[in-house]
Homo-oligomer: A and B are copies of this chain.
Amino acid sequence: MSVKKEIGQIARKAREVSHALANLSTAAKNGALQGMADALLQSADVLKRANARDVAAARRAGLTAAMIDRLTLTDKVITGMATSLREVALLPDPVGEVTRMWKRPNGLSVGKMRIPLGVIGIIYESRPNVTSDAAGLCLKAGNAVILRGGSEAIQSNLAIARVIQQSLQTRGIPPEAVQIVPTPSRKAIADLLQLEDFIDVIIPRGGEELIRFVVTHSKIPVIKHYKGVCHVFVDSSADLEMAQTICYNAKVQRPGVCNAMETMLVHRDIAPCFLPPMAEKFTTAGVEIRGCPETRKIIPLAKPARKQDWPAEYLDLILATKVVKDLDEAVQHIIRFGSAHTEAIVTRDYDSAQRFLREVPSSTVLVNASTRFSDGFELGLGAEIGISTTKLHSFGPMGVDDLTTSKFIVYGSGQIRL
C-alpha cells in the first residue's frame, strides 16, 4: 500500500470514530485515561525495549547527548506519563459545557455549547512522552488524534500507541481514537496536510523549520508556535529588589525554554541604580549581557548589542539589554522585535501597569511576575497541549478547553423567520 493511501485510511478511520468519541460520557473518558495510565506502567518493560532500539539507532546516527537524553524512556519518564494521564482524568470535562445562554425578543433561547474539534493531527519531534500526553488531552476533549512523532522515536511511539490502543479496546472505546503515522518521511507529513476533509486542525510542536514546512504545505488550519522572544520591562517606579528577583528568575531559572526572558528593557530614570547590581548577579550566574550604548555606559563589561540581538531567541545564558526613555518606547520595542509570546512589566505605578497590560499585544502579559509563568500548568489550565503565538482560535498556552469549539444551540417553541 502506498504511503498516501495508508495515511488516507488512518485519517478516514479517525474521522469515523470521532463521532462516537464526541458522545462518550465523562466517566467513560476518565476511566479510559486511568486505564491508559495503568497499562503504560504495566508495560514499562515492553516500552523500554522498544525505546532501546530507537536509542541504539540514534547513537549510530551520531545524535547529540542532549537529544538522546530527551529520547530515552526511563522508569521515571514512564511514571511521569502515567501521572499526567491521571491528572487529565481529574480535569473538568469541557464537552457539553454551555458557556453562555441568552434570550431573544422572539422567545428563542440561544446558547453556546462546547463540542470536540473532531480530529486533531499532532506533528512533533523527539520526546516520546508527548505521544501519551497528547493522546490523553485529545481524548479528554472527545477528539480522535493522529500522531506523527520524529523518525528517531518511531519504535517508542508505536509501542506507546499500541499499549494505549489495547487499553482503549478493553473498555469498548475505538482504538483508532489514537493512531500513529508509521512512516517517518517528510512526504508522509505533506500527504497528511492535504486531508482537510478528515482532519480539523494540525498542531506542530518542534523546531521553526518543521513548523514553517507545516504552514507552507497545510490545507488544514494550523495552530503554531514559532518562538519566544520574551521581554521584561523594568519601569522607573519598580521595586528594584523585586525587579532583580523577577529578571533573574526569568533569565536564569531555565534559560532553554520559550518563556525565558531574552531582552531586558530598563527605564532610563532607574538604569543607573538598577543595572550595576543586576549585572553583577547575572555575571555571577554566567549570563553574558549584550547592551545598547546607554547600557554599556553604565555597565562597561557588557558586550555591544548588534542589530540581530533584538529579535534573537537565545535559549541560552545570553541577555540583550536596552535602556528606554519610557513605557511607550518599551511597548514599541516589544511590538517591533518580540514574538507576541510573553512580556512582563515590573512597576509600582497603577497607570503603567494597566497601560502595559492593555497595550502589549502578546499572548501572556504579566505585571510584577516572572515570564516563566506563561505555561498551561502555571496559569491554571491543568495541562498544556502547546503554546500558540498566532491569534486564531487560541493565543498563548493551550489547555483542554482549546481542543474544543463552540456551536450555537437554540431552544425554540415553533418560531419561524418572518
Residues in chain A within 8 A of chain B (CB atoms): 19, 22-23, 96, 102, 104, 108, 110, 113, 115-118, 196, 200-201, 215-216, 219, 221-223, 239, 242, 245-246, 249-250, 253-254, 335, 353, 357-359, 361-370, 372-374, 378-380, 390-393, 395-397, 405-417
Contact = CB atoms under 8 A, between A and B. Distances in A.
Contacts of A367: 410-412
Nearest to A217: B219
Interface centre among A201, A221, A392, A410 (most CB of B within 10 A): A410
B379 A110 contact: yes
A250 B415 CA distance: 11
22 contacts: A102-B380, A108-B369, A113-B358, A115-B361, A117-B392, A221-B393, A239-B414, A242-B414, A246-B414, A246-B416, A362-B407, A366-B412, A367-B412, A369-B410, A369-B415, A370-B416, A373-B410, A373-B412, A391-B405, A392-B392, A395-B407, A396-B408
Given A253-B416, A365-B407, A412-B368, A390 B357 contact: no
Contacts of A373: 108, 410, 412, 415, 417
Contacts of A223: 392
Contact of A359 (B23, B118, B363, B415): B23
Contacts of A22: 359, 361
B396 A407 contact: yes
The 10 closest A-B CB pairs, nearest first, are: A369-B412, A249-B416, A372-B417, A391-B405, A366-B410, A393-B393, A364-B408, A368-B412, A221-B392, A242-B414
Nearest to A331: B19
